[in-house]
């Protein structure tokens, strides 16, 4: 009868793998709390040098240490499961917990990507995944091609996105109508010259219709079970909840005049409607409108703590007509809108906001500038993952046919 294996005696198994992950987790948290610092985020050329050295170390470990018990464990299934579980747990936390780049080092869970916790989990999985991939690469066999492409592709995706994080730039630029802006700002509010300039030629915005909603004055929330009604014109009637509502007057854009509203198309205008709500013979009437800096909001109060409110029009589509200049001499004149970026000299320009107080008369447009020189590396890894998956699919189908 064989004696039970003692903990930490080789060959290591799942218990040691998960304990190492736990130890790395505790160590990372301790480092971050005591040093009050984030993990290093090197940029070019330091990140290239560190990545090359890391790859060389993995290759040397595989060549000269493959018979070492520790290296053999790192190429084992238990080590892989432990590393994937550790990294997967960190990734799950990133998806479930709101992330804020401005969070201080002591607030680890709200800025995980820059934490020592993420750094340790990444090094752990890259080390294990790299050695496992090398183990299946040498000697090369066609039947291992799908495995090799999947694992190497995943390694490239993780390494490219992490080592390239220091080179990624995300800037915000406030452009003004008729002016050319050369300066953008990073997340710390520091001015940066990105090497491109943006001239705002025109700005246009389309709105959805304003919505009439039933509001609970006790909870200060809209009553979700009652569908809102969207106003398009005067002299209309509809049912909203238990109330029959008539719209006597409606102005998509109006200005307060005395006790009522008049149509006014210009800065500072708001939608306004005079409504009559009726229920069980009781009538409730008055003006409803959202508020802005110049006009107070009006509400029609109903019974049971409910009220009718008019929500402001929400933007449907906003477009900036821009002329973009780059330091290389490239000039682009095009429209910029949400989810339809422009590309110039490695930069992606995204429409993100405008002066919401001015609405359709906004003379400013907020543009986000993104640059990630490591994106082709990440795409290469994703492409390899796809190739590996396709290979495994067809090979699996072929093996299944042969066994039938």
Q: Residue 194 — very low, low, confident or very high, per pLDDT cuts 50/70/90? A: very high
Please report, rounded to a whole number, the percentage of residues in the chain having pLDDT higher than 90. 61
Please write the tens of the pLDDT for every residue from 238-270: 888 888 999 999 999 999 988 899 999 888 888
- Write down the pLDDT at residue 401: 46
Asked if 272 and 292 count as a contact pair (C-beta separation under 8 A), the reply is no
Please report, rounded to a whole number, the percentage of residues in the chain having pLDDT higher than 70. 97
Query: Is residue 146 over pLDDT 80?
Result: yes
- Write down the pLDDT at residue 403: 45
Query: Is residue 222 over pLDDT 90?
Result: no
Asked if 226 and 241 count as a contact pair (C-beta separation under 8 A), the reply is yes
Query: Is residue 6 over pLDDT 90?
Result: no
Q: What does the mean pLDDT of the chain come to?
A: 90
- Write down the pLDDT at residue 1: 46
Give the helix/strand (H/E) hosting 87: helix 77-96
Helix (H, G, I), strand (E, B) or coil at 330: coil
- Write down the pLDDT at residue 373: 93
- Write down the pLDDT at residue 81: 94
Q: How many helices (H) and strands (E) does the chain have?
A: 7, 20
Closest CA to 247 of 236, 261, 232: 236
Radius of gyration of the chain measured on its C-alpha atoms: 30
Q: Residue 220 — very low, low, confident or very high, per pLDDT cuts 50/70/90? A: confident
Residue positions counted in the chain: 404
Asked if 275 and 302 count as a contact pair (C-beta separation under 8 A), the reply is no
Q: HSE (CB half, 13 Å, CA atoms) of 63?
A: 6
Please write the tens of the pLDDT for every residue from 57-115: 999 999 999 889 999 999 999 999 999 999 999 999 999 999 988 888 889 899 999 99
- Write down the pLDDT at residue 2: 54
pTM exceeds 0.85 for this model: no
User: In this predicted model, which residue has the larger pLDDT, 404 or 166?
Assistant: 166
Please write the tens of the pLDDT for every residue from 201-215: 999 998 889 999 998
């Amino acid at each position: 009868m064989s004696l039970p294996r003692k903990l930490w005696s080789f060959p290591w198994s799942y218990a040691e793998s998960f304990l190492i992950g736990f130890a790395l987790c505790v160590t990372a948290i301790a480092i971050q709390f005591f040093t009050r610092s984030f993990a290093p985020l090197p940029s070019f050329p330091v990140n290239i040098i560190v990545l090359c050295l890391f790859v060389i170390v993995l290759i040397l470990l595989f060549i000269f240490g493959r018979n070492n018990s520790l290296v053999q464990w790192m190429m084992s299934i238990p080590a892989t499961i432990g590393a994937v579980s550790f990294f997967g747990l960190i990734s799950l936390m990133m998806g479930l917990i709101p992330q804020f780049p401005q969070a201080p080092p002591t607030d680890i869970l709200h800025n995980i990507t820059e934490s020592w916790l993420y750094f340790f989990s990444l090094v752990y999985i890259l080390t294990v995944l790299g050695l496992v991939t090398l183990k299946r690469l040498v000697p090369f066999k066609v039947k291992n091609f799908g495995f090799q492409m999947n694992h190497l592709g995943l390694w490239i995706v993780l390494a490219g996105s992490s080592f390239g994080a220091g080179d990624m730039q995300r800037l915000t630029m406030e452009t003004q109508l008729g002016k050319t802006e050369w300066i953008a700002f990073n997340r710390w509010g520091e001015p940066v010259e990105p090497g491109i300039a943006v001239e705002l030629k025109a700005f246009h915005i389309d709105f959805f219709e304003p919505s009439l909603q039933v509001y609970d004055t006790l909870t200060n929330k809209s009553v979700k079970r009652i569908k809102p009604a969207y106003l398009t014109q005067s002299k209309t009637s509809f049912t909203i909840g238990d109330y029959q509502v008539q719209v006597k007057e409606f102005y998509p854009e109006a200005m307060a005049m005395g006790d009522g509203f008049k149509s006014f198309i210009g800065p500072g205008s708001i939608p306004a409607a005079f409504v009559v709500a009726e229920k069980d013979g009781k009538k409730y009437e008055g003006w409803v409108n959202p508020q802005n800096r110049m006009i107070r909001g009006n509400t029609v109060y109903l019974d049971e703590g409910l009220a009718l409110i008019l929500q402001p029009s929400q933007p449907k589509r906003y477009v900036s007509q821009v002329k973009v200049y780059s330091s290389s001499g490239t000039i682009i004149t095009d429209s910029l809108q949400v989810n339809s970026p422009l590309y110039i000299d490695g930069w992606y320009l995204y429409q993100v906001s405008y002066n919401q107080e001015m609405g359709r008369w906004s003379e400013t447009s907020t543009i986000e500038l993104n640059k990630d020189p490591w994106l082709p590396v990440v795409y290469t890894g994703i492409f390899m993952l796809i190739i590996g998956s396709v290979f495994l699919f067809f090979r699996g189908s072929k093996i299944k046919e042969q066994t039938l």
